[in-house]
Amino acid sequence: MKIKHVVPGLVLAAALAGPAFADKLDDIISSGTLRCAVVLDFPPMGSRDESNNPVGFDVDYCNDLAAALGVEAEIVETTFPERIPALMSGRVDVAVASTSDTLERAKTVGFSIPYYAFENAVVANEGVEMTDWEGMRGKTVGATAGTYEAIWLEEKVTEWGEGEFRPYQNQADVFLALSQGQLDATVSTVEVAQANVASGNFPGIKIVDKAPMVPDYVALITLREEYGLINYMNLFINQQVRTGRYAELYAKWVGEGEPADLTVQGVYR
């Protein structure tokens, strides 16, 4: 019996030369469409105009990303709790939906670097005596289930050992409950608080104080194994900042002043 001698290098080459598979980035470019999950009851990040068209910071950000990829943007309206399920089920390619970059969520989805950062405000019903954030102690408070604000509020109620926390399906329900006196107070981003108070859609509410929360860094998300798309989104966010587009969108949708710094001192710059 003859023994065949195989050159080790050829074995390695054969092992490495497997079939090539397209990734999500290739799929998006090939399809000609980028499907973005966007929350449209979260002004100024996402809402609908008088003609029922999606508008807002996140809508423009999706459009910008699609333009960079050379494809058309498709806005898929989701609620906050639906963002990750929509991604996991294949309904959308990415979520441009003000998603806080928590370690728990990172077990399920892949995060880009932050594309926006929020500070938070305490908003109360005008009939409730409250002069600062600590006035929420012992009160009935609520927020959209699963959000950074909801997690913080629920922890505070537990820490205080008094009061009640109520979760809601979406941001509009929270502010409606607040306006109707079903809630004493909520915590939301400064941007959303200002927009909802100014809108007149929720009479009888007031901004009381800033909440002592660390900035809420939010990121673009996709499936966690899609490294090519995540790398592309990271570079895209970088270029949005350095070209001035980030500041332009901030001025358009939020107002005067400087947008939040997306770097974390001592971590990354």
Q: What is the pLDDT of residues 26-35, one digit of tens each?
A: 999 999 999 9
Instruction: Pick the closest to residue 123 from 50, 46, 206 (CA basis).
Output: 206
Residue 52 has pLDDT above 80, yes or no: yes
Each domain of the chain, given as residue ranges in start order, spans 22-118+217-253, 120-210
List pLDDT tens digits, range 58-88. Answer: 999 999 999 999 999 999 999 999 999 999 9
Name, of 175-179, 212-216, 265-269, the range with top average pLDDT.
175-179
What CATH number was assigned to the domain covering residues 120-210?
3.40.190.10
pLDDT at 16: 52
**What is the chain's mean pLDDT, rounded?**
91
pLDDT at 3: 47
What CATH number was assigned to the domain covering residues 22-118+217-253?
3.40.190.10
Residue range 199-207: mean pLDDT, rounded: 94
Q: Phi, psi at residue 209, to the nearest 5°?
A: -170, 165
Residue range 127-146: mean pLDDT, rounded: 95
22-118+217-253 and 120-210 agree in CATH topology: yes
Contact partners, residue 123, CB within 8 Å, separation at least 6: 175, 178, 185, 186, 187, 188, 193, 196, 197, 205, 206, 207, 208
